[in-house]
Copies of this chain bind each other. A is one copy, B any other.
Amino acid sequence: MKIGKSTVPRTAICTSNEHTIVVRGEDLCNDLIGHLSFADYFFLLLTGRRPDAACSAVLNATLVAIAEHGLVPSVQASRMTFAAAPDALQGAVAAGILGCGSVILGASETAGRMFADVAARVDAGATLDDAATAVVTELKAARRSIPGYGHPLHKEVDPRVGRLIAVATEAGADLRYVQIAQALEKVIPGIVGKELRLNVSAAIPAVLMGVGFPVASLRGVPILARTAGLIAHLAEEAETPSGFALSYQATRELQYEGSVPDGFGEAP
């Protein structure tokens, strides 16, 4: 069935014949394997350009920063899935990735788009402070949360934030979006009524956008990073299972709020 206008698929990522695999215009075997790190290759696959040194340093730092944070909900979902279906590692990884959504890890992209919005207003003549104030005010008026600000555990300061900014600074990256992120943090209390500190999901776009990482693919960073963490958790799950123990604990205080038939729970 024809859906949409185009009927011929197109790609600029990879072609190959029996002897050569070409990726982004380069010979995979001669030019890339053994010459490029995996994170640099990810950037090349995504953009068609090799990253410079600053970009490589910052991209590796963000992937390391977000890959693992213990038994978060998506890791629990993945480990429970593996416990139930241990023959399909890929299924348990997929279940974990499905939890990289708008609420938990998708904030990287939403925060990045917010930074781009502030940058566009500055480019159009606003001061940084005014642009930040306007954007936060509009989000509050629309009753939306500020993506990438506030964290359930790291309330005072998310330790990954300062470290990512330090790596970007040392690497000589453009810090424009870091300054935007900090300007937003400064104006939030006056508008929202409480301090919400920059968290890792805002720090990631803040440093990556300064090294040319595409905004539209920001959600790919936590997805790729968490895949590494999930594989590690599933290796541990295969050795020392916790998936069913997690599900047991999860429901120990479960409240049933429906009705029951007459006689339910009485001695039979």
Q: A-side interface residues toward B, CB under 8 Å?
A: 1-4, 6-34, 36-39, 41-42, 45-46, 48, 57, 59-61, 63-65, 67-74, 76-78, 80-81, 83-95, 97-106, 152-157, 159-160, 162-164, 166-167, 170, 214, 216-217, 219-220, 223-225, 227-229, 231-236, 238-261, 264-265, 268
Contact = CB atoms under 8 A, between A and B. Distances in A.
Contacts of A30: 163, 261
Nearest to A63: B38
Contacts of A74: 80-81, 84
Which of A74, A88, A90, A106 is most buried by chain B, counting CB atoms within 10 A of its CB? A90
11 contacts: A1-B70, A30-B163, A37-B38, A45-B68, A46-B235, A48-B258, A71-B247, A81-B95, A87-B88, A92-B98, A93-B223
A18 B156 contact: yes
Contacts of A160: 21, 28-29, 33
A33 to B, nearest CB: 5
Nearest to A4: B244
Contacts of A85: 88, 90, 98-104, 106
A69 B16 contact: yes
A118 B168 CA distance: 48
A248 B7 contact: yes
B34 A57 contact: yes
A10 B242 contact: yes
Nearest to A70: B14
Given A219-B89, A247-B3, A253 B9 contact: yes
Contacts of A71: 9, 11, 14, 247, 250-251, 254
Contacts of A101: 81, 84-88, 90-91
B80 A90 contact: no
Those 3 A-B pairs whose CB atoms lie nearest each other, nearest first: A85-B101, A220-B231, A9-B242
Given A4-B245, A18-B154, A38-B38, A254 B11 contact: yes
Contact of A235 (B89, B220, B246): B220
A102 B89 CA distance: 10
A220 B69 contact: no
A235 to B, nearest CB: 5
A260 to B, nearest CB: 5
A73 B23 contact: no
Contacts of A235: 46, 214, 216-217, 220
